[in-house]
Amino acid sequence: MPNAPLELHVAHEHWPLSAPFRISRGERHAADVVVVRLGKSGTHGFGESSPYPRYGETVASVIAQIERLRPMLAEGFDRRQLASLLPPGAARNAVDCALWDLESRIDGRSVSDTLRQPVIGPIPCFRTLSMDTVERMADTARRAGGAGTFKVKVDATDPITIIRAVRDAAPDAHLIVDPNESWNIELLQKLQPLLVENRVALVEQPIPAGQDSALEQVNLDIPVCADESCHTLEDLDTVARRYQAINIKLDKTGGLSAALDLLEAARRRGLDVMVGCMVCTSLSLAPALHVARHADFVDLDGMIWLRRDRKGGLRLLDGLLMPPAPGFWGDPGGLSRLGSA
């Protein structure tokens, strides 16, 4: 997309959840997202991000970062300049994805076409089991029936009871266990036989980022995935010594552009790749599909927690993530369906 003045609109949107979403660090009742709309000559592109307190972000701080771009946008620039203007994080993600969407609509070519990839079809996706009582988590897994793939949120209190209950409720399911940094190396080692017994495929970020050097000194039976320990390309050399997989989230990398670079670099190092998300609307998830189509594990179910999602957004049906309606994001083939409802 050639340099040209761009109009910027940035807003906070509040999307209530249908049920609380709990992890080891706390509980959420709504998705508070930042939405960017970039316009040129009546054509608009959209991007969404989720400010994350774990990384020192708030809605106000992310909007302030984006607002600082306004003079430069008025002069005109494209997404290839963005990395030099904003650090990795939610602000850059929203702007980067809006630029991809705007470029698609102006050029009359989908993001898939730009990346020389086929149209995205259904993608197998894990369903997250938020922390709750053991009985409710097991019941959710049981009622999901054909889903067959679950990411089980736990803390250090009694994780194996939860894992066993989910395994009993879904005997044929693929399981990922996600302690969200709540374990230590001793607990991780102690649980290895039980994780093997319950056929856990992957443990995601068991140890706090910054304390995970201990992973270089142990031999584990279950592969470990870096989430909070891996944000950008600069983390990969260290991560590759400690982990067997990484979780790529566009809110960490700073958008689709950097996420695609991280995907390629991770593959060169022989790492498996998960694609993850925050609790968000389908506008956050649609760009991530272009990474998910190449991933080993896909965890893009952030929209299922919302009381309502955007019209024409993604759906999770029997363990398959269904792409959004034509024109939703990064596709000029239909009218944009992006409103607040």
List pLDDT tens digits, range 226-243. Answer: 999 999 999 999 999 999
**In whole angstroms, what separates CA 195 from the centre of its chain?**
25
pLDDT at residue 75, rounded to an integer: 87
Q: Is pLDDT above 60 for 50?
A: yes
341: confidence class by pLDDT, cuts 50, 70, 90: very low
Residue from 153, 190, 252, 311 carrying the catalytic annotation: 153
Q: Does position 1 have pLDDT exceeding 50, yes or no?
A: no
Write down the pLDDT at residue 217.
93
Every domain of the chain and the residues it spans: 7-108, 123-322
Q: Above 50 in pLDDT, residue 160?
A: yes
Instruction: Name the DSSP class of 329.
Output: S
Name the CATH superfamily, with its identifier, for domain 123-322: Enolase-like C-terminal domain (3.20.20.120)
**Which residues contact residue 255 at a Cβ distance below 8 angstroms, ignoring those fewer than 6 apart?**
47, 79, 82, 92, 93, 94, 95, 96, 97, 100, 287
Q: How far apart are CA 274 and CA 288, in angstroms?
A: 11
Domain 7-108 annotated CATH 3.30.390.10: yes
For residue 333, pLDDT over 80 is answered with: no
249 part of the active site:
yes
Summarised one tens digit per residue, pLDDT across range 105-154 is: 999 999 999 999 999 999 999 999 999 999 999 999 998 865 679 999 99
Q: Report the DSSP beta bridge partners of residue 317.
A: 320
Answer yes or no: pTM beyond 0.85: yes
Contacts of 130 (CB under 8 A, 6+ apart): 19, 20, 21, 22, 23, 137, 153, 305
User: What is the pLDDT, as a whole number, of residue 270?
Assistant: 96
Rounded CA-CA distance 21/140 in Å is 13
Q: Of 52, 50, 23, nearest to 177 (Cα)?
A: 23
Scanning the structure block, which residue is given the tokens 């990064």? Answer: 330
Buried/exposed 19-36: b ≥16 CB within 10 Å, e otherwise: eebebbeeebebbbbbbb
Strands (E), the chain: 7-23, 26-40, 43-49, 123-124, 127-129, 149-153, 174-178, 200-204, 224-226, 245-248, 272-275, 297-298, 315-317, 320-322
Residue with tokens 């102006």: 106
Q: Is 311 a catalytic residue?
A: no
For residue 340, pLDDT beyond 70: no
pLDDT of residue 147: 60
Structure tokens at 31: 């998705």
pLDDT score of 3 more than 70: no
Terminal-to-terminal C-alpha distance of the chain: 29
> Whose CA is closest to 31, among 16, 20, 21?
16
149 φ, ψ (degrees, to nearest 5): -140, 125
Cα three-residue angle 240-256-20, rounded to 5 degrees: 85
E-assigned strand segments in 24-117: 26-40, 43-49
Query: Residue 11: CA atoms inside 13 Å, Cβ hemisphere, count?
Result: 9
Contacts of residue 276, Cβ cutoff 8 Å, sequence gap at least 6: 227, 247, 248, 249, 299, 300
pLDDT in tens, 287-311: 999 999 999 999 999 999 999 999 9
What pLDDT, in 10s, does the model give residues 253-296? 999 999 999 999 999 999 999 999 999 999 999 999 999 999 99
Residue 330 scores a pLDDT above 50: yes
Distance CA 143, CA 150 (A): 12
- Residue 95: its pLDDT value, please? 98
332-341 mean pLDDT: 56
* Confidence at residue 296, expressed as pLDDT on a 0 to 100 scale: 97
Per the residue annotation, which of 40, 151, 249, 252 is the catalytic one? 249
Residue 25 pLDDT class (50, 70, 90 cuts) = confident
Cα dihedral 205/208/210/211 (nearest 10)? -100
* pLDDT tens, residue by residue, 174-210: 999 999 999 999 999 999 999 999 999 999 999 999 9
Which whole-number Å values give the CA distances from 97 to 73, 79, 287, in the listed order?
15, 9, 7
Residues contacting residue 7 through CB under 8 Å, at least 6 positions apart: 38, 39, 40, 73
**In whole numbers, what is the pLDDT of the chain averaged over residues?**
93
